[in-house]
Structure formats: C-alpha cells, structure tokens
Amino acid sequence: MTEPERATADATQKEASALRQKAMIGEHFRRLARAGETGHKVVYTFVPGNLTELLLAFDVLPVLPEINALQSGMRRKSAEYIAKAEKLGHSEDVCTYVKCDIGMLKSGNIGPTGERLPDPDLLLLSYTGCFTFMKWFELLREEYKKPVAMLHVPYQATGEITAEMVDYVVKQLRSDVIPALERLTGRSYDEAKLQEHLARSARAEDDLVWVLESAKHRPSPIDAYFGGVYYIGPIFTSFRGTEEALAYYQELRAEVESRLERGLGPVTPDGPFGPERYRLVVEGPPNWTSFREFWRMFADEGAVVVASSYTKVGGLYDTGFRHDPERPLESLARYCLGCYTNLSLPQRIGLLERYVRDYDADGLLVNSVKSCNSFSAGQLVILREVERRTGRPGAFIESDLVDPRYFSAANIKNRIESYLQMIEQRRHAGASS
C-alpha cells in the first residue's frame, strides 16, 4: 500500500469509531427528546463522579450539563448563552459552563442535535472536588423546582482513600441516592443489573487505558488531549456500562492497534499528523470555542500530546482502578473518590510527573482556564514542581472553556511556539555539551 493509500485507509478507520460515537450520541439525544412519550425519567448529573451504571440499572436517562456546555462551545453558541446569563445577573467570574448552561436553558434548552432537552426529574449532585457543582444545581433546582439527591464525596486531602471514606460514600448511596432513584422510578434497586453494567464498564476501561497508553510509543499513534477528548466521550458520559460503549472501545482499540503497527501518528481534523517532533503532557481542560484552531497550533509544529490530566476528569483508570461487579457500591464509591477533580495538589503533581517520565515527554504545558478554579488553583505550583522534579521545561498558557472572549489566538500561538523553540534549544545545548 502506498503512503497516500495508507492515509486514506487510516482516515476511513478513524471514521468508523467516530461515526459510531456520533450515532450513539444522536440516539441518546433522540431518546431524551422522546422521554415525555416513553415515560423515561431524566436525571441531570455531572461528569466527575457520575453514577451512570446505577442510573442505567434504574433505566433512567442521564443529562450532563457540562457536556451540553462544551458542545455549545464547539457549535459557537456559547457566547450568546453566556451573554444571556450575564444579563440575568451572573457575574463575569462565574464558571462559564454554568453560564452557558443557564443561557441555553433560557433559550429553549435545545441540545446539540437540535432537539429540545427534557427537564430533569431529579438532580443527582455527585460532589467530587468542585464547589461550583453545588451552586450550579442550586440554580437548576430554583429553575426546575425538582429534588436534588446529593452524594458528598470527601476530598482526598491526605492523598489516600481510606476505608472510612469508602464507607461514608456507600452509606449515602444506600440511604440517599438509591432511595431517591427508587422513588423516582417506582422500581426496586436491582444489584444484579448494576453488576452487569459494571462488568461491561471494566472491560471498556481496559480498552480505554490501552488506547491512552499507546502514546508511550514513538511516534505516538494518538493525541491524548485533542484526540483524547473524543476517546473519553462515551465512558465519561451516558454510555459507561453499555454494550454500545464496549463496541466503541473495541473498535477504537483496533484502529489504534492498526496505526501503531504501521508506525503512523494521530489523525487530526486536517488529516494525518506529520512527523512527530515534540511530545508534551498537558494539564487543564481544552478550549472548546476554538478547539480545532487550538489543536492545529500543536499539530502544525509536530507537537503531539502524549498524556493529559483532562482525560482523567471523569475517571482515573491508568493507575489501575476498574469498576468491580463483585463490589458494586464500594466500586462506585472508589470511582468517585478517585476522579482527578478530587485529587490533592501533591497527587496531581505526582501524576503529572509520572506522565512526563513514563511517556518520555519533552515537558509539561499548562492550559489554565479562567473559569475553572477546580483545575486552575495551584497550577503554577504544579508547573514549577514538575519542572524541578523532571528537569524538563514547562510552559503556561491561558484561555477559557467556552467563553471566546478569553481565547487570544495570537498570544497562545506565540507562547506555544516560544515553548517549542526553548525545547529545541535545550536539545541542541544537551547534544553539544
């Protein structure tokens, strides 16, 4: 096969999993739009600490407001929604996911497929490290007049998950969350059904970890940040524990295996990646309003992201955690406790240091988003400490999640180019010393 033929074949293979994911998401939003007719109950909940398998065991449909916000950002609707929320009195400092969501619901709550999202029947607040989650659902409770079931997940302040912390979360699942779902649906908790979902989750998690760790190869067959946000889509949202997610991750893994065998790099929206020149670890969420432009700034320079913290926000699996059908509620508790947003600063530093070393990266780049205190607090300390421990240079850029006013393309591009030049200079200095 010639190189252009390989590239075409690769693009086709990439499309297979991407198309499958698109179809899965489309079907989910169609089911949501029909919830009034089918009688499905709808639960709004968050990505970090989501209890998808439990929701599926009750046959309710999840809605994830952060996903709606990021999709609004990618569809360039967020500026209008944020402006609407600010007119209603939400301060410029409020997380833009929240304002985007409020603006969207005040504009008819039209989802990414153009269909109206149903109102929630329950707000399931899984509190994993971000105080904004609480304030966000207070606003939605005011708006929809619907009950909130709260799961309080203790912060990993000392860097460990103790038996007491697990018990505390399990007790709340038994005493608050499960009864709320039983009241909502009129069904009894079916542990066997939950276990079936959890078994499927663990298998999909194995495949996801394999895909993410494929970036240890040179050249990396994936981009673990810009490409990674697509790879985490099903498992971080409404599909963990489903047959569809299993099929998606099997297909994705086969595609990446094929690229790896052929020595190919990632596929970008502009086509196959050129020669790999830089390997970076990225901390912080991406910008969604200029996502492709942002990705292109890296890809054009031959910079591939080999690991990122953002792809761990809805579950940290590459440290060994898997959902466990043998210990269903304990495993849900351990999952919530282990999400990246729930990790202490020293744990985040340790994880990123490990990524720089294990993936043999040239350094750590922090994308500090204005909106998100949960990510941004301590990022300069993280950067300096990872630099000190690894001896590899870092860089700091600033943008936002979905507020285009805070994405300054020229500034960001300039900083990325300067950073890559610095890496180049160090290489030459190292080679000549």
- Residues engaged in binding ligand SF4 (CB under 6 A): 66, 95, 97, 130, 132-133, 341, 371-375, 401
Alpha helices in 131-190 (DSSP H): 131-144, 163-172, 178-185
Q: Which is nearer to ligand SF4, 239 or 310 (CB)?
A: 310
Q: Which is nearer to ligand SF4, 137 or 321 (CB)?
A: 137
Tell the smallest beta-carbon distance from residue 335 to ligand SF4 (Å): 17
Q: Toward ligand SF4, which CB reaches closer, 195 or 367?
A: 367
Q: How far is the CB of 94 from ligand SF4 (least distance, A)?
A: 9
- Are 302 and 277 a contacting pair, CB within 8 Å? yes
Measured distance CA(149)–CA(173) in Å, rounded: 10
Which amino acid is residue 88, in one-letter code? Answer: L
* Residue 175 DSSP class: I
Contact 237, 46 (CB under 8 A): no
Which residue is at the shortest CB distance from ligand SF4?
Answer: 372
Which residues does residue 308 pair with via DSSP β-bridges, in sequence order? Answer: 282
Least separation in angstroms between residue 117's CB and ligand SF4 is 18
Query: At closest approach, how far in Å is the CB of 319 from ligand SF4?
Result: 20
Q: Which is nearer to ligand SF4, 375 or 407 (CB)?
A: 375
Nearer to ligand SF4 by Cβ, of 135 and 384: the residue is 135
Which one, 130 or 382, has the nearer CB to ligand SF4?
130
Give the nearest distance from C-beta 403 to ligand SF4 in angstroms. 11
| Residue 109, number of CB atoms within 10 A of its CB | 15
Write out the H or E segment, with its range, that includes residue 369: strand 363-369
What are the residues facing 157 on neighbouring strands? Answer: none
Contact predicate 367/285, CB 8 Å = yes
Q: Quote the least distance from Cβ 332 to ligand SF4, whole Å.
A: 20
| Residue 369: closest CA among 288, 425, 303 | 288
The nearer residue to ligand SF4, 99 or 413, going by C-beta atoms, is 99
According to DSSP, the β-strands at 278-283 and 363-369 are parallel
* Structure token digits, residue 60: 């309710």
Query: Is the Cβ–Cβ distance between 397 and 406 less than 8 Å?
Result: no
Cα separation, 188 vs 369, in Å, equals 42
CA proximity to 168, closest of 153, 186, 150: 153
199-223 residues labelled b (16+ CB within 10 A) or e (exposed): bbbbbbbebbbebbbbbeeebbbbb
As measured in angstroms, the least distance from the Cβ of 376 to ligand SF4 is 8
Distance CA 186, CA 168 (A): 26
**Encoding tokens for residue 55?**
């929701």
| Residue number with CB closer to ligand SF4 (47 or 245) | 47
State the minimum distance, in angstroms, from the CB of residue 303 to ligand SF4: 25
CB of 258 to ligand SF4, least distance (A): 35
Q: What's the distance, CA 213 to chain centroid?
A: 16
DSSP class of residue 339? S
